[in-house]
Amino acid sequence: MSSNLVNISEIFYSVQGEGTYTGEPTIFVRFQGCTLGCVWCDTKYTWDHDRENFYTCKEVVVEVQKFTKDRSFLPMICITGGEPLEQPEEFHKLVYELSRLDYDIEVETSGLVPVPFDLNRYIDSWVVDLKLVSAKAHKTPVWDDLNSFRPEDQLKCVVKDQKDLKTVKTVLSEFDFKGTILISPWNPIKGTSDTKWMEECAEFCKDYGYRLNLQTHKFIWGAKRGV
């Protein structure tokens, strides 16, 4: 792929469904391509790097601005995937182009690819996953990165059972993550909720001071694309 092109799955306008910016009007720029293979991924349509939908960075900016031209405010930008950091050169260029236009930028990444902390001045919040055994990912986390995040960053822990919760507690006792810890209850069927498991996760958050993280966009619209 040319270094001048970025492979994009979709660009859409909604509200942020999870994390510390839940409810914020947000433009999502979803990168195409991810080689990590997490079993509970809810965007598996983004995995294939050969599914080509190429844009220049300037073309991505044009698409983003279509959602802002008639508004009196700038929505946030959430760059997500897929795994954006698997297109590192294009990712850097796009972040720079969007930051020049004064957008606040949130980036969602897997925690399995090294985070380019040199971009911190352009990124308002990194949202990094803590991939647990239940994810069955093809790589191991970049553990040392956990010590380098800022208070404004977020660590999303998708948890399937009590074993996952114990692992979260153990990992966080070994690293100095300074941001917000998000506990995300895994549900076996997309768009549904296992109330008992959510209650257990809520109790865990009460015990350790973490934040319960529910995918509110699925409660509103169900398991749909582009919302």
Contacts of 23 (CB under 8 A, 6+ apart): 15, 16, 216
pTM of the model: 0.93
Domains in the chain: ranges and CATH: 6-221 (3.20.20.70)
Each residue of 31-55: pLDDT tens digit? 999 999 988 788 889 998 888 889 9
Give me 60's structure tokens.
């991505």
Give CA separation, 63 vs 10, 55, 202, in Å. 10, 10, 39
Position 1 scores a pLDDT of 46
Give me 15's structure tokens.
């509200």
Kindly state the percentage of the chain with pLDDT values over 90. Answer: 75
Each residue of 160-203: pLDDT tens digit? 999 999 999 999 999 999 999 999 998 755 555 668 999 999 99
